[in-house]
Amino acid sequence: MTLTRERTVAAAPPAPGRRARRSPAAFPVHLAMLSWAVVTALPLLWAVVSSFKTDNEILNEPWSLPASPQLDNWSRAWTQASIGRYFLNSVIVVGGALLLTMLLGSLVAYALARYEFRGNRLIYYVFVAAMFFPVFLALVPLFFVVQQLGLLGTYPGLILVYAAYAVPFTVFFLHAFFRTLPGEVAEAAFMDGCSHSGVFFRVMLPMARPGLVAVGIFNFLGLWNQYLLPLVLNPDPDRYVLAQGLAALSVSQGYRSDWSGLFAGLTIAMLPVLVAYVAFQRHIRAGMTAGAVK
Amino acid sequence: MKHGRWRFLAGALVPALVLHAVFVLSPYAQAFYLSLTDWTGVAGEARFVGAGNYARLGGDSLFLDAVRNNAVMLVVVPLVTIGIGLFLASMMHLGGRGGRRAIAGSGAYQIVYFFPQLLSLVVIAVLWGFVYNPNNGLLNGALRSVGLDGLTRSWLASPSLALVAVMAVLVWSSVGFYVVLFSAAIDSIPRELFEAALLDGAGGWATFRTVTLPLVRESVQVAFVYLGIAALDAFAVVQVMTVGPGGPDGATEVIGLSLYRNAFQYGKFGYASAMGVALFFATLTLAVLALRSGRRERLELA
């Protein structure tokens, strides 16, 4: 429901000439808005600038610009501090988990939304109820479940657990979405002799694309930023994901005080998110707020 | 056709159900049982201790610190975040004509505000660890550069400031999301209502109180639930950013951190599970309270 509203809002063109230019309140309003923009952006910009400074500059002049940009910080963080490896681990784990989540989540949501059978509601609630439990509650037994399956500290282990915890919301979101899709196209496809899975993959899934994009973005960010699950289930430093590696680094670097390297690592961790955001910012904000309103 | 239907349904549902049962349902179920035992991880050595773990929670002063800190965050973080979020979102619309249209440039502001929401809490915690650094941090640097040297502090090392510093980070990272959420809610309010208020001579504050606030109530409730759940967690920020972790004198200890430490450092799995159950009931209470207050009355817009 929210999505349809979202789309109509976005589709309504701004009435030409009605955009207010000046009004008496404009100055204090802009001042308030600008203040928060500075509060938001300043720490981020400061970290980026610091990633180009020498340790000496960082320690003695926190507000200055670098005399000459130290690109070496970045390569040191990428190779010596293993940020590059953590980055790759994150890509593998999140990529695998995202594919699995979207496949399983859309299958379940579609089956529950478009087929009548006994136990349909029950299965729906079994999935959706999991959204209301804190992950902390499951943490201890989950560790032993993963350990007994021999999956502790492995890519498949993390991928399966990530997907298992992302599927409930995906089902919840896409279930509502599949219900709003018209049934005529699917019926026509059945008439033409299309199989059930053929209808799903070739007719319904393409029609559900906006919903898939929204929940896909939401899931990607959630999985990319996951910290608690890898902290417990992924003890092997060679397989650390980015957030985990950065946290470990900030503790150990603190002692060695390679400040510039850590700032560079921090910036590297922020960069892909920033690039994705600049490219898709409208989709991302719509997708994430739609997820919350549901 | 009938045959194909069941085959498809089984293929669609069974893999996800298996995954769900193994990694989600069974751990949740086991947690309740484990919380009644003194299990320390050695197979077959779990003794049933009934409510013993829960009784011990009441005498664990660090856990009580954690409960107190989470309770403070549960009140302060949603209130401050929603306050700033509503203020900025309604400002965006107040500045425009008739109290309705978003001011010029509000889109650009929203883009900037929203960004921290996308970052991992670990990235945010590492970043703010630097900002708060007493010697070369951004905050003390700023205070020194404007001559307020007397106000510089070791923000994360002083017991009275550490929790405030943690809460400030949580607020900083989430305000933007709620500005966007509330702004969308305000956008969907029919324009006539603002025009009517304007014709009746209502000022900015009166318009906000009588038109905007009642009509974005649902979004505000959603915000309370989400922020409340985030405040009951706060694990990543505290674990990465504060000393110990858990802060000086347990000043920033949170339930999640106590649970993690007891389970994965001390091996007290039964005891840690009891903390998980306590956290679960806190979350459940929060959700039920929010949902019940939400059912009171719904404003119908004709």
Question: Which residues is A249 bridged to in the sheet?
Answer: none
Up-side HSE of residue A152: CA atoms within 13 Å toward CB? 14
- For residue B19, tell me if it sits in a domain: no
Task: Check if B5 contacts A (Cβ < 8 Å).
Answer: yes
Give A197's contacts (C-beta < 8 A, 6+ positions apart).
Answer: B8, B11
Chain B residues inside the 8 Å CB shell of A29: 91-92, 94-95, 103
Chain B residues inside the 8 Å CB shell of A127: 16, 20
Task: Check if B113 contacts A (Cβ < 8 Å).
Answer: yes
CB–CB of B35/B273 below 8 Å?
yes
- For residue B35, tell me if it sits in a domain: no
Annotate B192-201 with b (16+ C-beta within 10 A) or e (fewer). Answer: ebbeebbeee
Structure tokens at A45: 């910009």
Reported as a pLDDT band with limits 50, 70 and 90, residue B295 is low
- What is the Cα–Cα distance from A23 to A114, expressed in whole angstroms? 52
- For residue B145, tell me if it sits in a domain: yes
Question: Tens digit of pLDDT for each residue in A251-280?
Answer: 775 555 678 888 898 998 888 888 888 887
* Nearest residue in chain B measured CA to CA from A127: B20
Structure tokens at B160: 């009275």
Chain A residues inside the 8 Å CB shell of B24: 130, 138, 164-165, 168
Check CB contact under 8 Å for B130 and A41.
Answer: no
Choose which CATH entry (3.20.20.70, 1.10.10.60, 1.25.40.10, 1.10.3720.10) describes domain A76-293: 1.10.3720.10
For residue B27, which amino acid is it? P
Reported as a pLDDT band with limits 50, 70 and 90, residue B110 is confident
Residue A276: C-alpha distances to residues A41, A210, A214 (Å): 17, 18, 14
Most confident residue range from A1-15, A48-62, B109-123, B165-179: B165-179
CB–CB of A221/A195 below 8 Å?
no
Query: Measured between CB atoms, which of A142, A171, A225 is closest to B27?
Result: A142
Check CB contact under 8 Å for B111 and A138.
Answer: no
Chain A residues inside the 8 Å CB shell of B256: 136, 228
**Proportion of chain B above pLDDT 70, given as a percent:** 92
What is the residue-averaged pLDDT of chain B?
A: 86
- For residue B48, tell me if it sits in a domain: no
- For residue B37, tell me if it sits in a domain: no
- What is the Cα–Cα distance from A68 to A46, expressed in whole angstroms? 16
Residues 51-70 of B with CB under 8 A from A: none
Reported as a pLDDT band with limits 50, 70 and 90, residue A15 is very low
* Nearest residue in chain A measured CA to CA from B287: A132
| Mutation for B interface: A121, A140, A231, most B CBs within 10 A | A140
Chain B residues inside the 8 Å CB shell of A63: 138, 141-142, 145
- What is the Cα–Cα distance from B56 to A37, expressed in whole angstroms? 47
Task: Check if B17 contacts A (Cβ < 8 Å).
Answer: yes
Domain boundaries, given as residue ranges, for chain A: 27-70, 76-293
Instruction: State residue B225's pLDDT score.
Output: 86
Provide the shortest C-alpha distance from residue B41 to chain A (in Å): 9
For residue B54, which amino acid is it? Y
Check CB contact under 8 Å for A289 and B121.
Answer: no
Provide the shortest C-alpha distance from residue B27 to chain A (in Å): 5
Q: Is the pLDDT of residue A22 over 50?
A: no
Instruction: State residue A292's pLDDT score.
Output: 60
Catalogue the E-assigned strands of chain B.
none
Provide the shortest C-alpha distance from residue B160 to chain A (in Å): 23
Residues 159-218 of B with CB under 8 A from A: 172, 175-177, 180-181, 184, 187-188, 204
Mean pLDDT of B121-146: 88
Question: Tens digit of pLDDT for each residue in B75-99?
Answer: 999 999 999 999 999 888 765 544 4
- The total domain count for chain B is 1
Classify residue B301 by its DSSP letter. Answer: -
Q: What is the ipTM of this complex?
A: 0.86
What is the residue-averaged pLDDT of chain A?
A: 84
Question: Tens digit of pLDDT for each residue in B273-293?
Answer: 999 999 999 988 888 887 777
Reported as a pLDDT band with limits 50, 70 and 90, residue B299 is very low
- For residue B14, tell me if it sits in a domain: no
Q: Is the pLDDT of residue B131 over 80?
A: yes
Check CB contact under 8 Å for B8 and A108.
Answer: no
Q: What is the CA radius of gyration of chain A?
A: 24
- What is the Cα–Cα distance from A83 to A79, expressed in whole angstroms? 7
- For residue B20, tell me if it sits in a domain: no
Question: In sequence order, which ranges of B35-158 are alpha helices (DSSP H)?
Answer: 52-59, 61-94, 106-114, 121-131, 138-145
* CATH label of the domain that carries residue B169: 1.10.3720.10
Annotate B258-275 with b (16+ C-beta within 10 A) or e (fewer). Answer: bbbbbbbeeebbbbbbbb
CB pairs under 8 A between A and B: 283
Residue B2: C-alpha distances to residues A67, A184, A188 (Å): 74, 19, 17
Distinct helix (H) and strand (E) counts, chain B? 15, 0
CB–CB of A133/A216 below 8 Å?
no
Classify residue A76 by its DSSP letter. Answer: I
Structure tokens at B137: 């941090």
Mean pLDDT of A185-189: 88
| Mutation for B interface: A19, A100, A137, most B CBs within 10 A | A137
Domain assignment of residue B74, given as a range:
54-294
Instruction: State residue A9's pLDDT score.
Output: 37
Mean pLDDT of A248-253: 78
Reduced to 3 states (helix: H, G, I; strand: E, B; else coil), residue B48 is strand
